[in-house]
Each structure stands twice: as structure tokens, then as C-alpha cells.
Structure 1
Amino acid sequence: MNNYFENQNHPEMIKLQAAQRELYSLVKKYLAYSFLFAVLVPTVASVLYLILSFFPNYTFPWLKTALTVYGFIMLFINNLLLNHISSIKKRAARIQEEFDTRLFAMEWNDVVAGKRPGPHEWIEPADKHLKKNGSAALTDWYLNYSIALPSSVMTLLCQSKNLGWDARLKKIISDFLSIILVINGIVLLILSIIINPPAANIFSLIALLAPVYQFYYRYVNENKKSVARADELREKVESQLDKITETGFFDEASLKRLSRNIQDQIFIYRSSGNPAPDRMHRYNRMRDEERYDRIFDTYSERMKLLEPLI
């Protein structure tokens, strides 16, 4: 059987979870800044620009220049910010990988995940998070109670939870940003067809909206790719679990190889995708926990008499 329920709550494991939480909170804060200045401000400004285009007497001479300068400066700054966010995500993903490889008793794959994080990388953010928030939300990370299944099978169940946890939230955010992109496209279309403004005005608006398209490409494109891959992997894991359920047997060595390969893909999924806002997570957490408790209970009931192949 396995000791995942007890091991996930060891003090050092709690600190690893606290550290990755703190780093992902930093990612979310920076993403909020990026969204505000690279998406929201240009979108509102483009709508106002559209309205003012119907009233030429109220369009200030310096407006085109201001919009153009803001767009180009924000494009540069936002690129630096998004690159910084990517580096923090990879650091947080390595700490999550450290938690998982310890819990699942896996070897560290430095080819995929890079250098294994030492205490100097996670102690400071862990202490900072625990001082602010405590550890109550970090206990029982995968399991809310002990489940008597072989370790290799339990690993696959935990990995399926990893792959499905926030995929739905990422899809919602991506759809929301797609709507914003469409709104900006409509603004450009109206300006170019109905109002027929000078080329300089169109150029100013395109410069203003450049950070919006940059954010969309970096954020939504990364999310869509990571979610699509996560769905494929989750289906593969669930197919393997269903196969084990049907036959009543499993190949220990084969499952360990599969879990190691899946874990590499989970690291890529975490380091490439963008986390959902904390409020969305908190709002959906209880419902998602209950859903996975039911899933785990179902598989546990079906696999009571499992035997490894010899």
C-alpha cells in the first residue's frame, strides 16, 4: 500500500507547498499588472478613441502621439515583465516537482526540470507564506484521507488530479481574453471602414493595441497549449486506470515508467501554463475537492482486490 496521506503533511513537505504558493501568488500579481496596463488600459483607451473619432473637434492633437508612445513603451515593458513571470513559474514548478518526486518516491529528471531546488530556493518564500497565511490550506494536498491502494496506482490517481485541477479555469480565462481581443478587432474594423480615418490614426491605434495582442499570444497561447496537452495526458492516465480496474491486475514496473513520463509532462504543463487567479481557485476549490474525493473513492472501491503481475 502507500503512505501518501501521512507523508504529504510532513513539515518539510508543507514548506515546499508554501514556497510554491508564494511564488505563484507573485506570478498572479505580476500577471494582474500586465493585464491592467497591457490589456485593460489599451482596450478602454481604444473604445474612447473610437468615440472621439466621431467628434473630430474633441480629438486633441497630442492624442495620437500619446497613444503611439504608450503602446510602444508598454510593448517593451510588458515583454520584460512576461519573461520575468516565466522565470518565476519555472522556479515554482521545480518546487512542486520536488514535492511530487519526494511523495511519489521518483528520481529527479534534471534533463526536463533542470537543477533540483535546494533549501535556499524555497525556505524564504515558504516562511513568508506561512507567516502571512499559516499552513491550514496546505495540508492534505492530494488526499483528504488515507486510501489503501498500491503506491504505483495511487501515483497515477494523484497525477490525474494534477492534470485536471485548474484546466477548466484556464479555459474560462482564455475565453474571456479572446472576447477582449474580438472587441479590439471590432474597434479597428469600425475605424477603418465606417469612419475611414487617416493612416496616422490607424497606426496610433495599432500601436496602442500591440500590447493586447502580445499579452493574448503569450498568455492565452501558452494556456491553450498546456491545457490541450493536459487533457491528452489525463485521458491516457484515466484509460490506464480503467484498464487496471477491468483486469484486476497491474504491472508495477510498467506503471512506474508511465508515471515518470507523465510527471515530466506535468512539469512542462506547470512551467508553461499560467495560473488562474486566487479568487477563482478559492471559489472552485471545495467543489473540485469533493469531485476528486468521489473519483478517488470510486477507483478505490473498484480496485480493492488488485494484484501485481509477477
Structure 2
Amino acid sequence: MTSTPAEISVAQNTDRAQRLIAAQSRRYTDAKRLHDTRVITVTALAAATVITALALPDARIVVGTIGGAVAFLWSVLGGGREKRCRKQAAFMQEEFDTYVFDMPWNNMAAEHPSPTLITEAATRYRGNRTKDWYPDTAPVARPLDVLICQRSNLGWGASIHRLYAAILTGLLVTLVLAGTAIALIANLNATEILTVLLVPLLGPVRELIEMIRNNRDSADTKTSTENKVHNLWQRGLEPSGQVTIKDCRAVQDQILSIRQTNAHVPDWLDNLRRKRSETLMQQSAVHLIEEAVQHGKIR
């Protein structure tokens, strides 16, 4: 670690930093695609099971039970690779943050991603968001400039997680209503409702409930952590207050934990809200920078 750390706005746009951003973005995309593939597969299996069971009255119990069991097991057991990709992406982003923040690495919390894995993921990246990842905090003294970036990171995702949880809740209600309508139209008895509808739909319902819960948990955790960072920020603005890089490292550990369990948000929704989120992040950063300058917390 250098005695005079570079400005975050400079460090984050070096070749090394941009390569890490490209790699983590690509790895997060890999995790999302694995997640989407699993959900689509589970939903397709459930739909095929229901349709086949309705078309074959004499085999409804067998078709519904077997098809539903396969869909549910795929839902439960199909997330291993997705979790590995998400963890690798989180470690790559941690490598980026510790580099641009000039912050010590916590060996107990993360493993350094291999250069080969970073290079392989970066070469597959097709986006254009590798520069200016964090707002320009040049006037602010270290480590308050780090806190501004950490707060920006936490504030980015909470609202979109709540929005997606609401969308998923609507889908879950729609699925229940559709199942009820099918049962009434097909005049199914209690046993048939169990084997033709309930068992096959266990997989999709599980996926929806897990996604709703995970997105709500992610939003609540980010909001809670952001509030703690706000208290740390207020302490740092006080004349006798002091915030150290060790305090920022503790915040970073929480951010790393969040990233490893962060709920899935589809790219289409992220892209739809990106401009608004970026505007809010920039406005928030400007407000914090002005506060720091007013309190004399400058380089």
C-alpha cells in the first residue's frame, strides 16, 4: 500500500481496474444466465407435465407425480454452478475495490481470483461500462472518499430489488389464479388437483418464492448497511471525529458478503432503471462531496 494513494477517479480507469470490471461483469452475467436457464427449464417441465397430464386422463397420477418431482429436484439441485459464478464475480469486484480504494485484502473473507480466470472472463465481456465505475470524489480526503463510493454501491440496488420482488409477487399470484382456473375448467377432483397441478407447480412456485424472499432480503440488508455507513459518515464529519481505513474495511466486508448472496435481478430491468439509478448515484455523491468540503474534509 502506498503512503499517498491515488485518487479513486484515476485508479478506477487504469487498464488493470477496467479489466477487473469487465471480468466481474461477465461473471455476473454468467451467473444470471445459469439462473435464467434453470428457471426456464423448471417452468417448461412444469407446463409440459400439466399439459400432458390433462391430455392423458388415465395416466394423470403417474405423469403429474413424476414430472412434478423432476421439476422440483431440478429447481433444488440446479444452482451449484450459479453460486460459484456469483462468488467468483464477487471476488473479482473485491479485487477491483481493494485496488482502487488502496485497501488491504481480507484473506479470511475472500480468495484472490486467478489471473487466468480474470483474463478469460474479461475477454468475453461485450459491454461498454468499464470506465468511471464510481463517482469522482477527488476533492475529498481519504478515507471519506472511500465511504462515498461504498454508499453509492449500497444505494444502487435496494430500490430495484424491491421493484423486482413486487413484480415476482404479481407473477406468483397470477400463477395461483391460473392454476385455480385450470382446475375449474377441467373439473378436476381433489386427487387430480394434487397430482396434475400442485405437484408439477411446486418447482416454479419454489423458484418464485425464493426470488421474492432473496430480493427483499437483499434490499433490507443493503438499506441497513447503508444506514450504518451514514452514521460512520456523520462521525467522520465531526471536528473531533475520525474514520479510518479499518472502518472502511469493515464496511467492505459487509459489501462483499452482500455480493456473494445478492439476489438475481434480470438485465432487462437493470438496463431499464440504469439511467435513473446513475443519476441518483451522481446526485447523492455530489451532495456528500459538498458536505465534506463544507466541513473541511479535503485533500
Task: Classify the TM-score, shorter chain.
Answer: 0.7 to 0.9
Structure 2 equivalent of residue 152 of structure 1: 143
* Aligned residue runs from structure 1 range 292-303, under 5 A: 292-303=281-292
- The one-letter code of the counterpart of 1:72 is A
Task: Call closer, same or farther: CA 1:137–1:178 in 2, change over 3 Å.
Answer: same
Could you say what the CA RMSD is over the residues aligned between the two structures, in angstroms?
2.8
Structure 2 equivalent of residue 76 of structure 1: 73
Q: Distance in 2 between matches of 1:70 and 1:14?
A: 46
Q: Distance in 2 between matches of 1:237 and 1:43?
A: 46
Give the structure-2-normalised TM-score: 0.85
Structure 2 equivalent of residue 128 of structure 1: 124
Q: Distance in 1 between matches of 2:241 and 2:116?
A: 40
* Aligned residue runs from structure 1 range 18-33, under 5 A: 18-33=22-37
Give the structure-1-normalised TM-score: 0.82
Matched residues, number: 291
Measure how far apart 1:266 and its partner are: 0.8
* Aligned residue runs from structure 1 range 1-310, under 5 A: 3-39=7-43, 42=46, 60-113=57-110, 115-129=111-125, 132-133=126-127, 136-143=128-135, 145-186=136-177, 191=183, 197-245=189-237, 247-248=238-239, 250-253=241-244, 256-306=245-295
Is contact 1:17–1:138 with CA below 8 Å preserved after alignment?
A: yes
Measure how far apart 1:141 and its partner are: 0.4
Q: Distance in 2 between matches of 1:300 and 1:187?
A: 52
DSSP-derived class of the 2:199 partner: helix
DSSP-derived class of the 1:302 partner: helix
Is contact 1:19–1:122 with CA below 8 Å preserved after alignment?
A: yes
Deviates more, 1:3-12 or 1:291-300: 291-300
DSSP-derived class of the 1:286 partner: helix
- The one-letter code of the counterpart of 1:287 is R
Is contact 2:161–2:218 with CA below 8 Å preserved after alignment?
A: no
DSSP-derived class of the 1:138 partner: coil
Is contact 2:152–2:285 with CA below 8 Å preserved after alignment?
A: no
- Structure 2 runs not aligned, ≥5 long: none
Task: Call closer, same or farther: CA 1:10–1:69 in 2, change over 3 Å.
Answer: same
Deviates more, 1:4-13 or 1:222-231: 222-231
Q: Distance in 1 between matches of 2:13 and 2:133?
A: 8
- The one-letter code of the counterpart of 1:88 is C
Counting helix residues as a fraction of each chain, which structure ranks higher? Answer: 1
Is contact 1:64–1:204 with CA below 8 Å preserved after alignment?
A: yes
- Structure 1 runs not aligned, ≥5 long: 53-57
